[in-house]
Chain A
Amino acid sequence: MSAADLNKAISENENVMVICGRMGPMCIPVYGIAEELEDDYKHVKFYDMEFDNPESYIIRNLPEVRGFMGIPFTVYYKGGKVVKATSSIQTKEQVKAILNKEFSAVVNA
């Protein structure tokens, strides 16, 4: 996904989660979790972005990720604004807790 794609996605969708990482040990579990949650969180759009792609400046330069030193950088947007960002591996429970808090909606997950 390019920076322009991400800008388009957050302008067209109320709730967006973006995982910016590599195909590595700390990132793969988070990609897997997002993939599994997609069906239960239909009101959220899930995207991924290559950390090593220069286009990822749009994530890496966010003030909310300042100080992050562990991939993936996972960023949650609501109404085009960053509402939460996490660094490094997360569990499914941690991701669900953020989705439920920031993008509240009735889910059966």
Chain B
Amino acid sequence: MLNKMNAVNHYDAIVVGAGPAGLTAGIYLSRARYKTLIIDEGVAGGQMVLTHEIANYPGVESISGYQLSNIMKKQAKSFGCDIKTNVSVSGLDLNGEVKELVLKEGSVYSANAIILTPGGRSRTLGVTGEDSLKGRGISYCATCDGDFFTDKEIIVVGGGNSALEEAVSLTKYASKVTIIHQFDHFQAFEYAVEESKSNNKINFIMESTITAFYGNENLESVDIKNLVSGEIRNFKTDGAFIFIGYVPNTEFLKGKIELNKWGEIMVKSDMSTNIEGVYAAGDSTAKRFRQITTAVGDGTIAALATSGYLNELNIKQKQNSLA
């Protein structure tokens, strides 16, 4: 594909994604004196940056996602890890002993091992009006935009922990919050369900989904479809907060590595993928629980497995050069 192993841009390992999994892998690999590069199409921290307060990260009583991201980033840099943010991958060759990666702006990087930690992003509904009314009544962050909806009537879409917790937090501002969920039950933990059900500002519309957003300058109404009867009705609202989970950022890996039907990267217990020298960790992998702590654990395992692989590769290359 490209001129492999350009001396300037060659690394022992390249980590694709600077969320908690990627930064952890970078910390471990750099500390083990492997020349490591982390790249990310956004800012360092990934989805972790979106968390206003983290209160369950062991050893830290309370910290913002932004602060924790910065600490991890500094820690990785302190061990010599290179970090490039806001860059997109336009080409990827994972086969062979030397892997290659091309960035959208044209630079080419190579490495003996790759760790894929691209993470995920908020799932959107993908319905009419969603794009054009983003920031004009449609939001994906309650802590950021909640106060714009003081004394207004809003909807929250989703039925997981984020949706129910954020719905409760939005009652600090909104006069009425209607939760719209596609199932007849919630996936959230019981405490979150109880808290939302006991809040008298919160109403529920179950087994329903949004099919369109309407508004000129701002969101004015939505179409709600009852998934049992198929009936669609228009519902007036001042705002919509959408918390319907995440999708893995793995579009660029399609056809290059084994993914499951949801686009998640298939990994073994040592975080290795179906391609030798390619590992994966964090929210983009096929797994049940997606937490900062699990991403950190995955990143650690991936880095240690990568270290072992690089060590073996080094021995093999030395033996080949002597033969």
Chain A residues proximal to chain B, CB less than 8 Å: 22-29, 32-33, 36, 66-71, 86-88, 92, 109
Q: Is the interface of A mostly helix, strand, loop or mixed?
A: loop
B135 touches A69 (CB 8 A): yes
Out of A24, A28, A87, name the residue touching B143 (CB < 8 Å): A24
Out of B50, B105, B148, name the residue touching A25 (CB < 8 Å): B50
B143 touches A25 (CB 8 A): yes
B135 touches A86 (CB 8 A): yes
* Residues on B with beta carbons closer than 8 Å to the beta carbon of A70: 134-136, 138-139, 141, 144-145, 148
A26 touches B86 (CB 8 A): no
A25 touches B141 (CB 8 A): yes
* Residues on A with beta carbons closer than 8 Å to the beta carbon of B134: 70, 87-88
Q: How many A-B residue pairs have CB under 8 A?
A: 70
> What is the bound-complex CA distance between A71 and B141, given in angstroms?
10
A109 to chain B, nearest CB (A): 8
A67 touches B49 (CB 8 A): no
Chain B residues proximal to chain A, CB less than 8 Å: 42-43, 49-52, 65-66, 85-86, 105, 134-141, 143-145, 148-149, 217-218, 239
Listed residue (A23, A66, A68, A70) with the most chain B CB atoms within 10 angstroms of its CB: A70
A26 to chain B, nearest CB (A): 5
Residue of B nearest to A66 (CB): B217
B274 to chain A, nearest CB (A): 31
B142 to chain A, nearest CB (A): 10
A28 touches B136 (CB 8 A): no
* Residues on B with beta carbons closer than 8 Å to the beta carbon of A22: 144
B139 touches A29 (CB 8 A): no
* Residues on B with beta carbons closer than 8 Å to the beta carbon of A68: 135-136
B43 touches A27 (CB 8 A): no
Give 4 closest A-B pairs by Cβ, nearest first: A87-B135, A88-B135, A70-B135, A67-B217
Pick 14 A–B contacts, CB within 8 A, sort by A: A22-B144, A24-B144, A25-B51, A25-B52, A25-B141, A25-B143, A25-B144, A26-B141, A29-B43, A69-B148, A69-B149, A70-B141, A70-B145, A88-B139
B136 touches A29 (CB 8 A): no
A25 touches B49 (CB 8 A): yes
